[in-house]
A and B are shown apart, each in its own frame.
Chain A
Amino acid sequence: MSMTLKPGARLFSAVCTTEMIAVKAPPGEVDVTIGGVAPVGSAAGRDGSGSVADGHGGGAAMGKRYVDQGETIELLCTKPGDGLPALDGQLLALKEAKALPSSD
């Protein structure tokens, strides 16, 4: 299912506990899934049915960021869960970030 995404938009997996927020999003309609299923707009929007699709599980980790190859989309995991994010059916990749000492 296609949707438009803006930075700051929240995505709740419909089939697991994973929650994401859009850090970066391409203009226009995008086909994003979490756990292989279109996300919902709030925790209350989950109807409890369905499950993580094959190949779309394995665990989204707290604080990690997920991007497509061209980094046109970037989703940050705010609540971990089994389902992984995907764009156009392709799983997003974990974005490597250099750990910096906390200066404040």
Chain B
Amino acid sequence: MHLSSLVEMVESGFDDRVMLGAAEDAVTGAQFGALVRGGASTLGGYRALVYVGENHPLLPVALFSAAWAGIAFVPVNYRLEGHQLNSLVARQPGALVLADPGTASRIAGEAPVIVFDDWLASLPADPPAIDPPSDDDEVAVILYTSGTTSEPKSVLLRHRHLMAYLLGSVEFGGAGEDEAVLVAVPPYHVAGIANILSNTFAGRRLVYLRAFDPRVWLDTVKNEGVTNAMVVPTMLSRIVAALAGEPADVPTLRSLSYGGAKVSERVLLEALRLFPHVGFVNAYGLTETASTIAVLGPDDHRAAIESDDSAVRRRLSSAGQVLPMVEIEIRDEIDQPVPPGEPGMIFVRGEQISGEYASGSLLEPDGWFCTRDRGLIDVEGYLFIEGRADDTIIRGGENIAPAEIEEILLAHPSVAEACVVGLPDDEWGQTIAAVVVLRDGASIGADELQDAVRSALRGSKTPDTIFFRDELPHTETGKLLRRLVLRELTEFQAANDPKTTSQGEDSCR
């Protein structure tokens, strides 16, 4: 099926239901359909619709107008610096660019640029009828990966991938008329696209935060009667911090899902305590998998917290179980599936899995996609993510997942953030370096943190060096930019006598 069908389904099923916006500027399903038809009528002759800007209450109109016109929707990160921003926009020749007022003037190049509000105001009320396309093998959305380990890649999501995800995991009209979702993730993130599609399909009103702020988020949840919300871990952490230990006053909120990066267990436990009546959902997925492929649901969270069994408790840090229509395999170095409990590379297969870039498909001939994430599945089918395979440290021939060490460091009361990377070393191949941000007012020596890791894991997994920093670099959606951490440490190492940095001293303050 094609995403344009979804517009007709909204018109049929939710014609008088409020689908978009706050109470005062509400857009019903029928009005939404009219906006999309008007929007599509302005896109004739363009080869793509690029959107560069903050969230907007009518953002879904842009996405569905592109679908109705039969061209790809390409949201680009407006926070990028000018050169990179324009290089990503330039990857879409023949596109119309819709931008927010602050970004429009930063777009160079040949593509026409229109401020999104101006475009909306210009839409014809009675556009000529266009037959919607039906070929679901066309590209619906192009997303750029965040580029934490390399240059951003263009991921192609076809209509059939996105519809497979919707049909497989969301019930059409499954939301009650009173339900509303607060979208805080940015438009250029796959979760932002999934937010639009899933909630439109469910018939749940979409309310947007233009840009994330924890207090505004809490106020909006309360004032708009928000029932569902999705956040990335950085946002969850900032919301928890803003609450300062006081339970959240959000009587309507039923479901809070988080994903997009690893969440600290301390933040999650605090969030569970501060939102006692809310069901938590952890979603795991990649841009290349058209969003979520595994979920840890509210019941799993509750069971994990209440259990005395350490295997069940541990599931709080898992990504839950894979969706029914997704197959998963964990494979070893020689590409053979491993038994439950053993770590390896995560492979997935299913109708929603794209695995395709502008440069070509990475799907294996039989449809399997290598996520390049490492992880394991326990005996009950719970998936644990260890992190990107490219981040794996190989020290003296031993494979070490940074996440394992980071978890121990983060559990220390003095540590706010931690990043573990491998530094090149003549003797070991790589040595383990940990970069740590301490909590406000905390003071601790490197040796104490090394002891903490040694006693929890073992000597070979103990960081050879601990660096202290005031902050770590992240993408806006909370992904740690290991590439930048590694570059900084490598430069630091090169500029200093390695002997002084291998003593475990606080060498940076």
Interface residues in chain A, defined as those with a beta carbon under 8 Å from any beta carbon in chain B: 6-8, 10, 19, 21, 23, 62-63, 76, 78-79, 97-104
Given contacts A21-B8, A78-B13, A104-B292, contact A7 B134 (CB under 8 A): yes
Contacts of B255 in A (CB 8 A): 101-102
Contact B12–A103 (Cβ < 8 Å): no
With a cutoff of 8 Å between Cβ atoms, the chain A residues found around residue B323 in the complex are 100
Q: How far is the CA of A97 from the CA of B324 in the complex (A)?
A: 10
**Least distance between A44 CB and chain B CB atoms (Å):** 13
Residues of A within 8 A of B228 (CB): 102
Which residue of B4, B169, B198 is within 8 Å of A8 (Cβ)?
B4
A22 (CB) vs chain B CBs: closest residue: B1
Q: Indicate with 1 or 0, residue by residue over B1-24, a CB within 8 angstroms of chain A CB atoms.
A: 110110011001100000000000
With known contacts A7-B134, A19-B12, A103-B281, A63–B171 Cβ distance under 8 A: yes
Interface string of B170-206 (1 = CB under 8 A from A): 1111100000000000000001001100110010000
* Contact assessment for B136 and A63 in the assembled complex, using a CB-CB cutoff below 8 Å: no
If A7-B5, A100-B323, A103-B198 are given as contacts, then 10 extra A-B residue pairs at C-beta distance below 8 Å, sorted by A number, are A8-B1, A8-B4, A23-B1, A62-B172, A78-B12, A79-B12, A99-B171, A101-B279, A103-B257, A104-B198
Please provide the 5 A-B residue pairs with the shortest distance between their CB atoms, ordered closest to farther: A103-B283, A63-B173, A101-B297, A63-B172, A78-B12
Min C-beta distance of B32 to chain A, whole Å = 14
Interface of A (DSSP majority class): loop
CA distance A103 to B257 in the complex (A): 6
Query: Among the interface residues A99, A101, A104, which one has the most CB atoms of the partner chain B within 10 A?
Result: A104
| Residue contact B174 to A63, C-beta cutoff 8 Å | yes
Residues of chain A contacted by B297 (CB below 8 angstroms): 100-101
CA–CA, A100 to B324, complex, Å? 9
B259 close to chain A: CB less than 8 A? yes
In the bound complex, residues from chain B placing their C-beta under 8 Å from that of A100 are 169-170, 295, 297, 323-324
Q: Does B55 contact A (CB under 8 A)?
A: no
Query: In the docked arrangement, what's the CA distance between A103 and B13, Å?
Result: 22
Minimum distance in angstroms from B306 CB to a CB of chain A: 18
Highest count of chain B CB atoms <10 Å: which of A19, A23, A97, A101: A101
Residue in contact with B9 in the complex, picked from A6, A21, A102, CB distance below 8 Å: A21
Contact of B259 with A103 in the complex, beta carbons under 8 Å: yes
Contact of B202 among A10, A79, A97, A102 (CB under 8 A): A102
List chain A residues, Cβ under 8 A from B13. 19, 62-63, 78-79
Q: With A and B bound together, what is the CA distance between A21 and B146 in angstroms?
A: 36
Contact partners of A102 in chain B: CB under 8 A: 170, 198, 202, 228, 255, 257, 281
Beyond A8-B2, A63-B174, A97-B171, whether A104 also contacts B230 by CB under 8 A is yes
Task: Indicate whether B298 reaches chain A with its CB closer than 8 angstroms.
Answer: yes
Residues of B near A76 (CB, < 8 A) are: 9, 172
Say whether B130 faces chain A, with CB atoms less than 8 Å apart.
no
Residues of B within 8 A of A6 (CB): 134
- A/B interface sample: 23 pairs, CB < 8 A: A7-B5, A7-B136, A8-B2, A8-B136, A10-B8, A19-B13, A21-B12, A62-B13, A62-B172, A63-B13, A63-B173, A78-B12, A78-B172, A79-B13, A100-B323, A101-B257, A101-B281, A102-B198, A102-B255, A103-B281, A103-B292, A104-B194, A104-B198
Docked complex: B283-341 residues within 8 A CB-CB of A: 283, 291-292, 295, 297-298, 323-324
Q: Are B257 and A104 in contact (CB under 8 A)?
A: yes
- Measured between beta carbons, the chain B residues less than 8 angstroms from A99 are 171
Which residues from B are CB-within-8-Å of A98?
A: 324
Residues of B within 8 A of A10 (CB): 8, 12
